């Protein structure tokens, strides 16, 4: 199992969160830190290993922070294609931030819109997509469904 982590330890609270997540992972898992270059991390993972990308939400935030909004969709397509082309499963974790109220500030609205596009790109390249709410999986369809 390969765990691709997109979080960056920028403050004490995030350092603690990352440490907590690392402690929960089995020791035999390999962790690849990829706050920006997700396609490279996916390409570098052993092709027979199941990969978990955690998470697209932080990855988008990292890219937006560097004012790379115009490059995020092409980078998402590249990474999603890498994931879809792997012989072993790739599981991408993301948040759905567009189901609530429209944020009051411009950056939050931009983030919500860009993340929504990234989630759609990954779903378009996925064999299967699901929304998980309160630990319950709701299928969003499969490749065969045209989802």
Catalytically active residues are 21
Please give the angle made by the CA atoms of 104, 13 and 72, to the nearest 5 degrees.
50
Q: Which two tokens stand for residue 41?
A: 């991390």
Determine how many CB atoms are found less than 10 A away from the CB of residue 42: 25
User: Which of 91, 117, 85, 112 shows the shortest CA–CA distance to 100?
Assistant: 112
Rounded to whole angstroms, the Cα distance separating 128 from 126 reads: 5
Rounded to whole angstroms, the Cα distance separating 120 from 18 reads: 27
């Amino acid at each position: 199992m390969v765990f691709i982590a997109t979080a960056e330890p920028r403050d004490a609270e995030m350092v603690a969160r990352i440490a907590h997540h690392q402690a929960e992972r089995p020791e035999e898992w390999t962790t690849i830190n990829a706050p920006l270059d997700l396609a490279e991390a996916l390409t570098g993972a052993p092709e027979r290993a199941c990969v978990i990308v955690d998470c697209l939400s932080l990855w988008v935030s990292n890219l937006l922070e560097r004012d790379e909004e115009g490059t995020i969709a092409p980078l998402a397509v590249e990474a999603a294609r890498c994931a879809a082309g792997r012989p072993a499963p790739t599981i991408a974790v993301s948040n759905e931030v567009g189901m609530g109220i429209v944020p009051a500030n411009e950056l939050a609205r931009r983030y919500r819109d860009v993340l929504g596009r990234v989630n759609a790109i990954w779903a378009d390249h996925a064999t299967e997509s699901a929304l998980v709410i309160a630990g319950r999986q709701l299928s969003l369809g499969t490749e065969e469904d045209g989802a």
